[in-house]
A and B are shown apart, each in its own frame.
Chain A
Amino acid sequence: MKNKNSKRLLALSSAALALPGVSGGAMAAAPTESVLSYRYTKYKEPDLRADKVANEQPGSSPQGSLKRYDIDVHQFSISGPFKDGKFSYAINVQDEILSGASPWSTELAENGTVDVVMSGASIDEHRTDVIGNLGYYYSGGSVAATVGMSTEDDYESTSFGLSTEKEFHNKQTVLGGGFSVSEDTINPEDSALLYNRVNPILPGESASKDTFSAYVSVSRVLSPSTQILTGISYTKKSGYLHDAYKRVDQRPDERSQYTFNLSARQYVKNLKAALHLDYRYYDDTWGIQSHTLTGAIYKNWERLQVVPFGRYYVQSEAVFYQPYQPTYPNNGVPIEYNYFANDARLSDYGAVSGGVKLVLKYKPIDWVLTIEHYVADQEIAPSRSDRLENPGLIEYTRYNIGLDYRF
Chain B
Amino acid sequence: MKTHAVNFRAMGSPCSVRLYAASAMEAQILAAPVIDEVERLEQRYSRYRPSSFLSQINASAGKHTIAIDEETQALLAYAMAAYEQSEGLFDLTSGVLRTVWDFRAKKIPTQSEVDRVLPLIGMDKLEIREGRLYLPLAGMELDFGGCVKEYAADSAAKVALEQGISAGVIELGGDVRIIGPHPNGEAWDMGIRTPRQAHNPVLTRVGLSEGALASSGDYERYTVVNDVRYCHILNPKTGWPVTPPASVSVIAPSCIVAGSVCTIAMLMGEDDCVAWLESVGLPYCVVWGSGKVRNQF
Interface 1/0s, chain A 1-29, versus B by CB < 8 A? Answer: 11111101101111110111111010000
Report the bound CA distance from A22 to B155 in whole Å.
6
B131-161 CB contacts (< 8 Å) to partner A: 151-152, 154-156, 158, 161
B75 touches A221 (CB 8 A): no
What is the bound-complex CA distance between A6 and B29, given in angstroms? 41
Q: How far is the CA of A15 from the CA of B296 in the complex (A)?
A: 25
CB-based contact B81/A25 at 8 Å:
no
Distance to closest chain B CB from A21 (angstroms): 3
Check: A57 CB closer than 8 A to any chain B CB: no
Contacting residue for A2 out of B84, B152, B260, B296, CB 8 A: B296
Q: Is the CB of A172 within 8 A of B164?
A: yes
Q: Which of A11, A170, A269 contacts B85 (CB under 8 A)? A: A11
> Across the interface, do A12 and B26 meet the contact criterion of CB distance under 8 Å?
no
CB nearest to B41 among chain A residues: A21
Min Cβ gap A166→B in Å is: 16
Q: How many residues of B contact A (CB 8 A)?
A: 43
Indicate if the CB atoms of B154 and A12 lie closer than 8 Å: no
Q: Judge if B225 is at the interface, Cβ distance under 8 Å.
A: no
Contact B164 A224 (CB under 8 A): yes
> Which residues of A are found within 8 Å of B78, using beta-carbon distances?
12, 15-16, 18-19
Is A171 an interface residue when CB atoms closer than 8 A count as contact? yes
Nearest residue in B to A28 (C-beta to C-beta)? B162
In contact, B280 and A8 (Cβ under 8 angstroms): yes
Give residues of chain A (157-207) contacting chain B, Cβ–Cβ below 8 Å: 169-172
- Say yes or no: B29 contacts A16, CB within 8 Å: no
Interface bits B71-84 vs A (CB < 8 Å: 1, else 0): 10011011011101
Q: A13 and B165: CB pair below 8 A?
A: no
Convert A204-238 into 0s and 1s, putting 1 for each residue whose CB lies closer than 8 angstroms to a CB of B.
00000000000000000101110000000000000
CB-CB < 8 A to B37: which residues of A? Answer: 21
Are A170 and B164 neighbours in the complex by a CB distance under 8 Å? yes
With a CB–CB cut-off of 8 A, which chain A residues contact B33?
224-225
In the complex, how many angstroms separate the beta carbon of A15 from the nearest chain B beta carbon?
4
**B166, CB-defined interface residue at 8 Å:** yes
B154 A225 Cβ-Cβ under 8 A? no
Chain A interface size, as a band, is 20 to 34
**A170 lies within 8 A of B166 (CB):** yes
Q: Is B32 an interface residue (CB 8 A)?
A: yes
Nearest A residue (CB) for B76: A15
A6 in contact with B279 (CB, 8 Å): yes
Of all chain B residues, which has the CB nearest A224?
A: B163
Whether B246 is near chain A, meaning CB under 8 Å from some CB there, is no
Which one of A11, A14, A16 contacts B256 once the chains associate, using CB atoms below 8 Å?
A16
A11 contact set on B, CB distance < 8 A: 81, 84-85
Given contacts A15-B78, A19-B78, A224-B32, contact A1 B256 (CB under 8 A): no
Residue in B closest to A272 when the chains form the complex, CB atoms: B36
**Other-chain residue from B32, B158, B256, B296 in contact with A25 (beta carbon distance below 8 A):** B158
Contacts of B282 in A (CB 8 A): 1-2, 9
Knowing A11-B85, A12-B261, A16-B256 are in contact, say whether A22-B158 is a contact too (CB < 8 A). yes
What are the residues of chain A within 8 A of B261 when measuring CB–CB?
12
Find residues 113-137 in chain B having any chain A CB closer than 8 Å to their own CB.
Answer: none
CA A172 to CA B163, docked complex, whole Å: 8
Annotate B21-59 by CB proximity to A: 1 below 8 A, 0 otherwise. Answer: 000001001101110010000000000000000000000
**Which listed residue, A5, A25, A225, touches B29 by the CB 8 Å rule?**
A225
Scan residues 116-164 of chain A and give those whose CB is less than 8 A from a CB of chain B. none
Question: Quick one: closest B residue to A227, CB to CB?
Answer: B164
A12: contacting residue among B75, B82, B163, B180, CB under 8 A:
B82
A12 to B80, CA, bound (A): 9
Would A18 and B30 count as touching, CB distance under 8 A?
no
Residue of A nearest to B152 (CB): A21
Cβ contact within 8 Å between A18 and B166: no
Starting from the known contacts A3-B280, A13-B254, A19-B151, 14 additional A-B residue pairs (CB-CB under 8 Å) come to: A2-B281, A6-B279, A9-B257, A9-B280, A12-B257, A13-B257, A15-B74, A15-B81, A20-B74, A21-B155, A170-B166, A223-B26, A223-B30, A225-B32
